[in-house]
Structure 1
């Protein structure tokens, strides 16, 4: 095995353990603990055989803080680090690199943390995001491929950072050829049929969303304002061929906390969930609002048009409030990170104005994905993560859900083994939603190391067809994407 390694700035990186009155933070321990080194690894040990028709790169973003910070740590505080597995003709290379955000550079130069975290008062922080939220924008949440680059985004709306999909070098803050200003939410959507990137932003003090489109030439082509009853905290968006669906959900800003300079949210059960259906290039006057039962939605599976209806599948959270069932005060504060979500379908009838709601499955599954080639078109299969019955956010299995039959096929990683989001990776010449593979990182608590697991998408329950062993963990994190070899070829040509 050949390897090269370096720390992010030439100095040792702190592996921090935050405490609150002696209470160890569970998101800085075990499989969540930061890793010290940025690595490039070839000739890795393989159990099984890597398919030669699996060509592309799997990328996963997540928090991995560079320095200890004062106060209580939250997963959203950690500096973004992208981990990549590049497959080419039956071989694989692993690489991990920090996203070099503006805040990362400033703390690197200072040799210490300059920001407190999400759960602390940000009054002494150097600066925050574009909406005046004084929390460090760490670009640690999602990673999306668009126009030859990947974009690293942040949970609370931040600057999208462009990253090279192979070297993982941070190219810089993405301003879309000087046409973009402000922030971008965590989960913009790419329509591969048009080359458009659809996004919105929001803020803790603004009673509206900004909804916009980046065109296939990389310039912003559309921007409009959609008014809301008050500041909201939407996380995701759905797109169809001709429409977008934005959300006004009853998870709202605590105004008393905001006046005190803090960021705090609460779930207002008296408010309905509302969904704004807007023509893709429409304006606020074109919005149709649809009411539904109160809930929160972190992640959309997919959406499409069917006759007079917009159909939207999501992972629906019934109760996103902090839970109070754990032993320590800090664990209680962090408990809402342990999601309880079910696959759920909405139908918004554009002719009658009615909403129909249906639970598709009662299992606790999240972090969904579909074949990116058909985003915004009807799908049959989604690939999801099963949430373990643990006090922290851990994925104990992989679930392929068949929305036509309502059945699922599942693989459990095994005791003490936890996975990561597993997007669909089409094989060379792929012709369908299961004609390919699933790739994900798996952490083994017993061995204290990570691995890359590869599954046949047509036989998920059979378990991995190959496992690539890594010498260090890939800290549990957030979202992933698959970039096909044809997309990589285009990015290198550009």
Structure 2
């Protein structure tokens, strides 16, 4: 690598050149037997010799670790085989997106017994439990927009709420899948223009949209940038009245990732998210973009988010904001059973502090430090199987990678003692590039695995 090599092709961000698999992975500590399933994580991994022009634009690659009954059975990595694998562009000259020729590189989830690789400018791609690509899915022709990489599953109904945004009208469209995976509702949500709406939130009764000043433009790499003239708003849409959003102006900022939202006893909507100031998002965008001139430690330090809370009072027509902590962080997550409901704990990743647990009840932060030479990936909460478990009864899973990109582990932490020693560490057979988002998918969520496990039990 030379000094002109972009940051997103160096060190712990550098792509791997091939697909491999390994079995019987070494484990330090003890893997809880309840962790029987797959931890899957998605992220950008450009094809050999390619420079996509921005970290966000690399070809998607899934990394998976199969755990069963206290063993780490396998690791494998596979590219998500989308149209760009054959050289097709995802952005047309007129500014529209080819939704079947994207890089599905942002998230991977399970819904309705199927595994979906996601990116916000295209259709979801179905993959097998062994990470092979089946192909794009438009839900029997009913999905006519892109699908966000950050859908929200209601823990009570099982419905999957999501949206699509685009560079041309309709700029924003809300969608809902049933628990079985059928697209049952779509509705346009009017907004002023084409913004990069990466994430959103739900409560038990509302969706909350973030209409923020990162707007569309034709340029190298990612076609979005900060717009001082656009303004910033939060939109509150009743889930039983799709398309009817009420908008609340806020101070200009940007949010890649929402932690959670809920409605309090007074009917106010509380939204927690990783907040970037104008200067912070511009510094972050340059640091991970095409210009090597921005790749300095000062730029990286300036381009960080902090945890903020917005409280929307529909009755008074007001919204207030407050900074909840000073730590720079990203990738906020919560227990999936608390999505849209009040949560005490929120987990996040810090470049300097490691893996964080924010305790809203105590107003405190616990950190699992990894040292200066190791980077943590998003921490995914996996609940214990106890029927009366507390909110933090479970584990956090994260792929960690050394800053030189040469070694990685699957880290398992006790979520009731985040600052304590790891429960287990699984040594992976290669360095895994830092990526975006992932999911724990228990065998019970996959029909084929349920059948296989039942057959073994019968034998």
How many angstroms does 1:410 deviate by?
0.1
Equivalent position of 1:168 in the other structure: 131
Helix, strand or coil for the counterpart of 2:292?
helix
Equivalent position of 1:149 in the other structure: 114
1:386 pairs with one of 350, 353, 356: 350
Q: TM-score w.r.t. structure 2 length?
A: 0.88
Cα distance change on mapping 1:432 and 1:56 into 2, 3 Å: farther
Query: What are the equivalent positions in structure 2 for 1:25-36 lying under 5 Å apart?
Result: 25-36=6-17
Query: What are the equivalent positions in structure 2 for 1:30-179 lying under 5 Å apart?
Result: 30-69=11-50, 73-92=53-72, 93-104=74-85, 106=86, 114=87, 125=89, 132-133=96-97, 137-155=102-120, 157-164=121-128, 166-179=129-142
Runs in 1 of length 4+ with deviation above 6 angstroms? 323-326, 334-338
Long gaps (5+) in structure 2? 453-459
Equivalent position of 2:427 in the other structure: 469
CA distance in 2, matches of 1:62, 1:466: 24
8 Å CA contact 1:455, 1:464 repeated in 2: yes
8 Å CA contact 2:11, 2:405 repeated in 1: no
Equivalent position of 2:182 in the other structure: 219
Q: TM-score w.r.t. structure 1 length?
A: 0.82
CA distance in 2, matches of 1:159, 1:332: 34
Long gaps (5+) in structure 1? 1-16, 107-113, 116-124, 389-395
8 Å CA contact 1:129, 1:183 repeated in 2: no
User: Relative to structure 2, which stretch is displaced further, 46-55 or 353-362?
Assistant: 46-55
CA distance in 1, matches of 2:188, 2:339: 24
User: Relative to structure 2, which stretch is displaced further, 26-35 or 308-317?
Assistant: 26-35
Q: CA RMSD in A?
A: 2.8
Helix, strand or coil for the counterpart of 1:95?
strand
Aligned length: 442
CA distance in 2, matches of 1:161, 1:325: 29
Equivalent position of 2:438 in the other structure: 480
Equivalent position of 1:375 in the other structure: 339
1:200 pairs with one of 163, 179, 186: 163
Could you list the per-position Cα deviations for residues 345-397 of structure 1 after superposition, in whole angstroms to 9, with x for gaps in the alignment? 11111211110211111110110111112211111101100124xxxxxxx61
Could you list the per-position Cα deviations for residues 255-290 of structure 1 after superposition, in whole angstroms to 9, with x for gaps in the alignment? xx47xx986433234543201101113133x32111
8 Å CA contact 2:351, 2:376 repeated in 1: no
Query: What are the equivalent positions in structure 2 for 1:237-252 lying under 5 Å apart?
Result: 237-252=200-215
CA distance in 2, matches of 1:47, 1:130: 53
1:399 and 2:381 aligned: no
8 Å CA contact 1:59, 1:84 repeated in 2: yes
Cα distance change on mapping 1:268 and 1:74 into 2, 3 Å: closer
CA distance in 1, matches of 2:450, 2:245: 39
How many angstroms does 1:232 deviate by?
1.3
Could you list the per-position Cα deviations for residues 304-348 of structure 1 after superposition, in whole angstroms to 9, with x for gaps in the alignment? 11132111111111121146998x982345788874111111111
Could you list the per-position Cα deviations for residues 213-259 of structure 1 after superposition, in whole angstroms to 9, with x for gaps in the alignment? 112232221111122222211110100111101121122224xx47x
1:416 pairs with one of 366, 373, 390: 373
Helix, strand or coil for the counterpart of 1:23?
coil
